[in-house]
Amino acid sequence: MYITLRFAKQEDIPSISRIGSTVFRQTFGHSIPSLDLKDYLEASLSHSAISTELLNPNLTYIVAINSSGFVAGFLQLNRASSEPCLVDFENFIEIQRAYVDEKYHSKGIGKLLFDEAERFAREQGYRHVWLGVWEENLRAQKFYDKRGYRRVGEHDFVMGVTVQVDWIMVKEL
């Protein structure tokens, strides 16, 4: 399978929204009341939310494009986020979202996106990459462990009345 990576464009908004909403619903939908899920998806992964984020200079979206020109996955970097448990780390950037369309799972697209995000972060002078992962998302935790991320703390991820615990993981570049 041939995949190219590039920075997201306005034309990618529908695909980013669809993939993000679908994967989020599949991963977390069973653990969140439907109203909280609906509100979160509208606030964070709707067309209008993604459109606004693409204009934010602190956010960078990288998309994986298949040989037919369709978005197969995406990753979002955030230069302006932090957590109290990161106080001992210098110069870091967050991988805030990383989603791959289900039909492309286990095809190496997540690895490609992370390789590119880490390359980009190094190129921009960052020394660390961090992310939050739900404490019950064992598949993602295993992927991050294999890539050299280590748990340094946790935080509450709030969606309406729903509170989930995310592990904070960091990798030195």
In the chain, domain spans: 3-129
pTM beyond 0.85, yes or no = yes
Are the CB atoms for 162 and 36 separated by under 8 Å?
yes
- Average pLDDT of 141-156? 97
- What percentage of the chain carries pLDDT values higher than 90? 97
pLDDT grade, residue 78 (50/70/90)? very high
pLDDT band per the 50, 70, 90 thresholds, residue 1: confident
What dotted CATH number matches 3-129?
Answer: 3.40.630.30
What is d(CA 164, CA 173) in angstroms, rounded to the nearest whole number?
28
Confidence of residue 102 (pLDDT cuts 50, 70, 90): very high
Residues in contact with 69: Cβ distance below 8 Å, sequence separation at least 6, in sequence order: none
